[in-house]
Amino acid sequence: MKSRLAFLLFNYFPYGGLQSDFLRIALECQKRGHEIMVYTRSWEGDIPDGFDVRLVRCKAATNHGKAAQFSRFVQDALKTDSVDGVVGFNRMPGLDVYFAADNCYAEKARLQRSAWYRRGARYRTYATLENSVFGKDARTEVLLISELQKAGYINFYQTSESRLHLLPPGMDSSRRRPENAEQIRIKLRSDLGIESNEQLLIQVGSGFITKGLDRSIRALASLPDGLRNKTQLLVVGKDRPSPFLRLTKKLGIPERVKFLGGRDDVPHLLLAADLMIHPSVNEAAGIVLLEGLAAGLPVLCTAACGHATYIEKSVGGEVLPEPFDQAQLNASLKRLLSEADLKTMGTNGLAYAEVTDLYSQHKHAADIIEQTIGKRD
């Protein structure tokens, strides 16, 4: 049955993981014949044909203020703008289905923040929005992207497990390693000025603080002189590089780190690299880790990444335990670059990606959206 679906997303830009998930799920629903309406505060890039995108202007001075304004505006708009279902990619009331790209905010605030923080407006706003989705009385069906998320929501909100649906990963199958991978690697390394005797690290992801970019830079700086001088780090993603550029200068390695910004050719850049480094502070999933496996690129990441379990299962890299220890990351990076068989790790990752479902998240999400809307008609 054809339905009119409202998708709610604070901001859309081409290089975000959440944004990529939103777009693939919305396109899958459109492919199945549903009309797609999008409410968002901003949209960068092309709008897919047939999408009805409605921009919501929020004038609050803070991010949490804008989140509250956006939520109120959409709730009012949907009272008169008739839709059959509401799918949210940020927490707010009135959702039929919520795509949970993050771990439990309230639990994290309780464990990692002070009591003073929990008395502030930021906490109250975000905790209230989260409770509207996960609280005992909520009816929202929740799409989880990793098993790690489930315990946090159940422990804090006593959310019914029947409302929590674990999705498979949603990597684009076009990210698989192509037959001409070696030719692409040679050309890109030449274009980037990487010498044949140099080793290339790559870190991919928007939001440099959360992705642990400072950890990667410190690990690179810790390498012995001979190894450090033959290693470069590519940073790919949308964020302000200035604080991290200052860190590279402070540590004496500005020439060892290249900031490329957001890029459309990430699959090719992965082929040019020798090791992916991703010491994330907190990440519900981390689809780029799987893209590394599918490219034949070994991965060094933290257990804070939901998809780190795939790195362990594939033997396609190394996972650092929590709590994070910078010295351990430094030692692991040194060992992987100087002693480990990176080629075998890459081959392991490739083999695993060929026999494991890393690609069908958007189809499963669309199935649950249709089932949920069908039950409530």
Domain ranges of the chain: 4-168+360-376, 173-355
Instruction: Encode pLDDT of 75-89 as tens digits.
Output: 999 999 889 999 999
Domain 4-168+360-376 has CATH 3.40.309.10: no
Q: Which CATH number fits domain 173-355: 1.25.10.10, 3.40.50.2000, 2.160.10.10, 1.10.240.10?
A: 3.40.50.2000
Instruction: Encode pLDDT of 229-247 as tens digits.
Output: 999 999 999 999 999 999 9
Given a cut of 90, whether residue 178 has pLDDT beyond it is yes
CA gyration radius for the chain?
21
The predicted model gives 284-298 an average pLDDT of 96
How much is the mean pLDDT over the chain? 96
**Residues 138, 350: Cα–Cα separation, whole Å:** 41
Q: Let me know: does 206 contact 262? Beta carbons within 8 Å.
A: yes
Given a cut of 90, whether residue 1 has pLDDT beyond it is no
Q: What angle do CA 133, 237, 212 make, to 5 degrees?
A: 70
137-154 CB burial, b ≥16 within 10 A, e <16: ebebbbbbbbebbbebbe
- Omega within 30 of 0 (cis) for the link into 323: yes
Tokens encoding 109:
């605030």
Q: What is the pTM for the complete model shown?
A: 0.89
Residue appearing with tokens 């309406």? 37
How buried is 305 (Cβ within 10 angstroms: 0-12 exposed, 13-18 middle, 19+ buried)?
Answer: buried
Contacts of 330 (CB under 8 A, 6+ apart): 218, 219, 222, 223
Please report, in angstroms and rounded to a whole number, the separation of the first and last CA atoms in the chain: 11
Output the pLDDT for position 174.
87
Output the pLDDT for position 375.
83
Contacts of 221 (CB under 8 A, 6+ apart): 228, 248, 251, 252, 253
Given a cut of 70, whether residue 377 has pLDDT beyond it is no
Output the pLDDT for position 211.
97
**Residues 140, 274: Cα–Cα separation, whole Å:** 43
**Residues 377, 374: Cα–Cα separation, whole Å:** 5
Given a cut of 80, whether residue 277 has pLDDT beyond it is yes
The predicted model gives 193-217 an average pLDDT of 96
Identical fold for domains 4-168+360-376 and 173-355, yes or no, is yes
The predicted model gives 194-209 an average pLDDT of 95
Instruction: Encode pLDDT of 335-373 as tens digits.
Output: 999 998 999 999 999 999 999 999 999 999 999 999 999
Instruction: Encode pLDDT of 93-142 as tens digits.
Output: 999 999 999 999 999 999 989 999 999 999 999 999 999 999 999 999 99
Taking each helix axis from N to C end, the angle separating 63-80 and 121-134, rounded to the nearest 10 degrees, works out to: 40
272-285 CB burial, b ≥16 within 10 A, e <16: bbbbbbbbbbbbbb
